[in-house]
Every structure is written in structure tokens, then in C-alpha cells.
Chains A and B, each alone.
Chain A
Amino acid sequence: MTSWGVGGQGFPARAGIGLRSPHVAEVIATRPPLPWLEVHPENYMGGGAAVRALDAVRAHYPVSFHAVGLSVGSSEGVDRRHLGRLKALVERFEPVLVSEHLAWSQAGGAYLNHLLPLPYTEESLRAVCRNVDEVQAVLGRRVLVENPSGYLRFATSAIPEAQFLAELTCRTGCGLLCDVNNVYVTAKNLGLDPEAYLDALPADAVGEVHLAGHSANETDGRMLLIDDHGSPVIPAVWALYEHAVRRLGAVPTLVEWDTEIPPLEVLLAEARKADARLRGAIDDADAA
């Protein structure tokens, strides 16, 4: 295992927002007081106006890359061409963090644009470790791996997800992106205890936290939570975030909103709510 620098040194433990296309022009024009912004690098792998806008954003803010397309859970390995394009973007924009998901999307030449679930087995762990090792070697830096939202369990899964992630950090030196909303959604959908899940993650490895809204859908008389990033963070997830911050300390936090995207000010207000909780954690640590 190579030991990677954590990256993002001097990166503020404050709350930023995921930057989506409806807000790009406004952010460039008004430069709201945000400590950092996060983008999906897959949206910037061409040329033209999108990349030029990211240049303008990057000139004023630290930017984090939250990848969705590496498919590090794929048994076929990582798409080298795609990884090369990511490397070129990382070199150009020097993001403070680079993250991906514990999921797969690619099989048999098809790219299914979703974070598909893995059976948590030793075989899967070896595949994910091999892929994360390759990503970190090519990018020359540590990446964070995010816990996905779960909607099903495989009968063959033998390792609890949090333990699977902990083992992944041990074997590859990668960090974790703890999505507190995903923990909540997964726990409710699969009958787990969300606090116990959080407590099983290796706190030292968590380099970023995500927050978002989800929706509740009734299917065959059963309530299923869908991680659609289309509404405010719900009170139960704020409470879980407070639990996470007590355990993890002040970790850079990001608010995501991807469907039914509201005015920028709504996202800024969500980020301020997260900031208030982060400040509380820092004050508590100072008092102790």
C-alpha cells in the first residue's frame, strides 16, 4: 500500500455547496461567500463554455471533484481512457479533494448511469481495492470513497458496509467521504441503525461529509427512501449530522441538491446551517 498525502492541506473545515449548472453564472457574477465548491468532473471533460466557466469559478474558490463515473466497484476494472481524462482535469484544476462512490456502473461495455450496489464479499473488496489502487496511482493522490445509498441487499453480502469501507481504507490508504444522508437512507431502507453505522466508520479516514435531501416513496405498502437530492436536509438527518460531527470533529461538509434545484440562496442557507453545527463542534473541542 502506498501512503498518500491527504491532500487539501489548509482546506477549511466549513460547509460548501455542490455547484450545478443553473447556478454557475450567478456564482461567477456574485461570488457568494463560500469556503469551497464541488463539481462532478464528468461534466467538464469536453471544451467550450462549461470548462471556461469552471476556470472562472476556480479563480476564486477551492474546488473539489466528486466523480460519479469511475465505477471503482466494477469487476472489469477502471476505464483507462476515462481515468486519463480525469487525470488531465485534476492537473488543470488542482482540486482540493477527489472523491468517488463505493459502487459500479460499467459492465459489458455498457455504462449504466447509476451507483449500482455491490455484494459485500471478499471478492468485491479485492476488486474495489485493485481499482482504487489504480486510481490513486494514476492520479498520484489520495481519493475519498463515499458510502452509497442502498436500496437492496445481496444474499451473498457477508461484510457490513461500514466494515467493508473501513477495510478498504486500510488496504488502499484511501479516505472516506461520509454521506450522512446516504447513511440515513440506507439504514431506513435496509433496517440498520444509522448511528451504529456511523460509529463503525474509521473516524480518522473521513475527509469530507455530504448532506442532501431525499424523498419517501411508498412501494407495495412499504416506505422506501429515495436519495434524489431534491429537497432540504430533513431534521433527522441534521440530528445524525450532529452525531457525526461529535464523533468526526469538524470535517469539510458539502450540501448537494440535484433535482428540483432551488435558487442559489436556498443552498447557501443550507450550508450556513451546516456551518453553525461545525462551529459548535470546534467550540466543544476547544473547551475540552
Chain B
Amino acid sequence: MTRTLPELQAAFASALLRGDARGVADVILGDGLTPGARVQIYWNHVFSTLTDVLETTFPVVCRLVDRRFFGFAADRYVRSHPPTGPCLFEYGETFPGFIASFPPCAGHPYLADVARLEWAVNAAAHAEDRTPLAPAALEAVAPEDAGRLVLRLEPSASWLRSPWPLDRIWRANQPDADPDATVDLAAGGVTLEIRRGPDDAVTMRPLATGEFAFRAALGAGATLGVAADAGTAADPGFDLPAALRALLDEGLLTGVALAPTSSADVQATPATQEGGSR
């Protein structure tokens, strides 16, 4: 059977992901081996490389479940969620969601959140470079416009809420951690900020609930008015001027835009100031 190149490549890709060469066996010359044994060489490389990538990005998850089980989960994940692009440091964004719905992981309810934290650390390490705005950046804003400001935050930053003591779990499973230390899973949840600093080191730290809600809302693209309301809803004592100063002092603010007054075209936000790429 002659196939076009698109047909052949679709069949070959599908054979690789399913680990079953029958769909392409008729177009491969065995040359002394079965076609399946030849396809297996490519399969080995794809799966071992991607398992290594996941293990590098999610070392704490791997340690918590042991390497053999991690390899099993990674195999299932790669089959159902292969990479969509060639930059492998971007592979694994959907792994936390996969773990959350992977029945064999059901006995570790905190595992998916640990994976979310590890993904946030990985994403922070590789996020694009952006120069923070100078502290005077907000001075030119007219008071009547303040509510519809859209503040762009440092691209490496993300905010993670969990009912589990994620930061303690993470620290207890670092290579240099005390191997006898234990983590009390009932110690309570966290509201964490993860970001890359000017020295390129990735840090995580707990935020107060009001500041967490405020920054997470800004990070999701909310206007300053909406984000301030989120801060106050989480903590009636939320101090907006102090929160804005903190954004500037911590180098988190990288761009300012004005949302249009009409809510109908809220997507079109013309940038008025933007930190340049470093």
C-alpha cells in the first residue's frame, strides 16, 4: 500500500505514541529484524528522554512516589499528552492536572498541588526576561483612571493556593534536606508567590491573604479596581497603597496599560508603558 507523506507521518507518530508498530509495519523493511524492533529504537528514545524531562521538572513528585511509579505515570502521561513544541523545558504544564485525575495517585491527595508548585518553579526559571518599571511609573496616572489600570507583572511570577503545606513538603524533599524530617500534612494550607529574582534564583514565599488575592487577580489580567476589591474581599484590612508600593519595591511591576472605559471591548488594552526585554 502506498501512502502519502502526511499519511505515513501520521501513522508513524501514532505507532510511536501507542508503542504499537502494526500500523506502519507494511512500509518498513525489516532488514533482518521485525519492523516493530526498528520502530522500538525510536520509541525508546522518545519515552526515555521525555521521562527524564518530567523527572527533572518534577523531582519532588518523583521522590514522593518513587522512581518506578513515576516512570509508569510518566509513560501514561506522554502517551496521552505528548509535547506540542520542541522546547522541552515547556513540557509538563498539564502534568499536575493529569496527576489529579490519575486514579493510582488518589492515595496522595497533595501530589497534584506539589506538581503545580514544581511547574511554577520551572516556569519561573525559564520565563522571558522583562525589565521592571521605575518606582515613578504610577505617578503620572490621573486619579480618575486608577481603577481601570491594568498592571502587568513580572512574567516569572505566579501565585498558588493550596490546602496543603506545600512549601514545607517541597523543602523537606530537596536534595540537601534533613532525611529524617517529617512534614505534618495537617499543618494548614498556603498562599504562595513563586518568582525569579534579579539574580535569576527562583524563590517562593507565603503572602498574606489580601496581598495574595490582589496579586493573583492582577496576574490573571484584572484591572486595578477589580484586583483591589479581591484584596479587600480576602482581608478587610487590605492596604492598597502599601500593596502598590510593594509591587514597585519588589520589581514586580513591568507594564501599565489602561483598560477601555467600555466594558464591551475590555480585551483591547493599549499599552501606555512597558518594560523592555532585557
Residues of A within 8 A of B (CB): 42-43, 45-52, 68-71, 74-76, 79, 81-82, 85, 104-105, 107-114, 116-119, 121, 123-124, 127, 151-156, 190-191, 219-220, 222, 224, 226
Q: A152 and B38: CB pair below 8 A?
A: yes
Q: If the complex has contacts A46-B127, A74-B9, A113-B86, are A153 and B42 also in contact, measured as CB distance less than 8 A?
A: no
Task: Contacts A42-B87, A116-B42 known; list 17 others, CB within 8 Å.
Answer: A46-B128, A47-B126, A48-B126, A48-B156, A48-B200, A51-B129, A68-B86, A110-B83, A112-B17, A112-B42, A112-B82, A113-B86, A116-B9, A121-B5, A123-B4, A153-B29, A222-B33
Residues of A within 8 A of B68 (CB): none
Question: Contact between A48 and B196 (Cβ–Cβ < 8 Å)?
Answer: yes
A191, B166: Cα distance in complex, Å: 55
Contact A155 to B33, CB < 8 A, known contacts A107-B9, A114-B42? no
B89 close to A (CB within 8 Å): yes
Tell which of B44-52, B108-116, B185-193 binds the partner: B44-52
Q: Which of A49, A124, A154 contacts B29, CB < 8 Å?
A: A154
Q: Are B10 and A107 in contact (CB under 8 A)?
A: yes
Interface residue from B5, B9, B42, B89 paired with A43 (Cβ < 8 Å): B89
| A48-B125, A190-B31 as given contacts; A127 in contact with B86, CB under 8 Å | no
In the complex, what distance in Å separates the CA atom of A219 from the CA atom of B49? 20
Within 8 A of A (CB), among B1-34: 2-6, 8-10, 12-14, 16-17, 26-29, 31-34
Closest to A219 in B: B37
Count, A-B residue pairs, CB within 8 A = 144
Of residues 191 through 209 on chain B, the ones whose CB sits less than 8 Å from some CB of chain A are: 196, 200
B241 within 8 A of A: no
- Residue contact B41 to A75, C-beta cutoff 8 Å: no
Chain B residues contacting A105 (CB-CB under 8 Å) are 86
Interface contact B85-A107, CB-CB below 8 Å: no
Determine the chain B residues whose CB is within 8 A of the CB of A74 once the complex forms: 9
Give the CA-CA distance A235 to B129 in the complex, in Å: 45
Inter-chain contacts of A156 with B (CB < 8 A): 2-3, 27
Asked whether A111 lies within 8 Å of B28 as measured between CB atoms, the reply is no
A220 to B32, CA, bound (A): 9
Asked whether, in the complex, the Cβ of B85 is within 8 Å of the Cβ of A154, the reply is: no
**Does B84 lie at the interface of the complex (its beta carbon under 8 Å from any beta carbon of A)?**
yes
Known: A107-B13, A152-B38, A224-B41. A79 touches B85 (CB 8 A): yes
Q: List 5 A-B contacts (CB under 8 A).
A: A48-B196, A113-B45, A113-B88, A155-B29, A220-B37
B39 at the interface (CB under 8 A from A): yes
In the complex, what distance in Å separates the CA atom of A153 from the CA atom of B32? 12
With A50-B126, A110-B82, A111-B83 in contact, do A153 and B89 touch (Cβ < 8 Å)? Answer: no
- Residues of chain A within 8 A (CB-CB) of B129 are 47-48, 51
For residue A55, give the distance in angstroms from its CB to the closest CB of chain B.
Answer: 10
Indicate if the CB atoms of A110 and B126 lie closer than 8 Å. no
Give min CB distance, A97 to chain B, whole Å.
19
> Which residue on B lies nearest to A49, using beta carbons?
B200
A207 and B29 alpha carbons, distance in the complex (Å): 32
A273 to B126, CA, bound (A): 36
For the complex formed, measure the closest distance between the CB of A285 and the CB atoms of chain B, giving whole angstroms. 39
B196: which A residues are within 8 A, CB to CB? 48
Contact for B84 among A45, A109, A153, CB less than 8 A = A109
Do B85 and A155 touch across chains, with their CB atoms under 8 A apart? no
Question: How many Å lie between the Cα of A288 and that of B82 in the bound state?
Answer: 55
How far in angstroms is the closest Cβ of chain A from B23?
13
The answer, among A50, A85, A127, A224, for a CB contact under 8 Å with B5, is: A127
Interchain CA distance A52-B278 in the complex, whole Å = 10
A110, B17: Cβ atoms under 8 Å? Answer: yes
Q: Are A110 and B84 within 8 A (Cβ)?
A: yes
Specify the chain A residue showing the minimal Cβ separation from B2.
A156
Q: A46-B87, A47-B278, A76-B6 are in contact. Are A113 and B50 (CB under 8 A)?
A: yes
CB-CB under 8 A for A45 and B87, given A151-B38, A191-B31: yes
Chain A residues near B50 (CB-CB < 8 A): 113
Tell me the bound Cα distance from A130 to B43 in angstroms. Answer: 28
| Complex-state Cα separation, A220 to B33, whole angstroms | 7
Mark each residue of chain B from 112 to 150: 1 if its CB lies under 8 Å from any CB of chain A, else 0. Answer: 000000000000011111100000000000000000000
* CB-CB under 8 A for A152 and B39, given A47-B128, A104-B9, A112-B13: yes
Contact of A46 among B12, B38, B89 (CB under 8 A): B89
**CA–CA, A68 and B156, complex, Å:** 26
Cβ of B35 under 8 Å from chain A: yes
Q: Which residues of B sit under 8 angstroms from A49, Cβ to Cβ?
A: 125, 200
Query: In the complex, A121 Cα to B14 Cα: how many Å?
Result: 21
Given contacts A69-B85, A153-B29, contact A110 B13 (CB under 8 A): yes
Known contacts: A113-B46, A113-B50. The answer to whether A46 contacts B86 by CB under 8 A is: no
Inter-chain contacts of A124 with B (CB < 8 A): 5
Cα–Cα, bound, A45→B41 (Å): 28
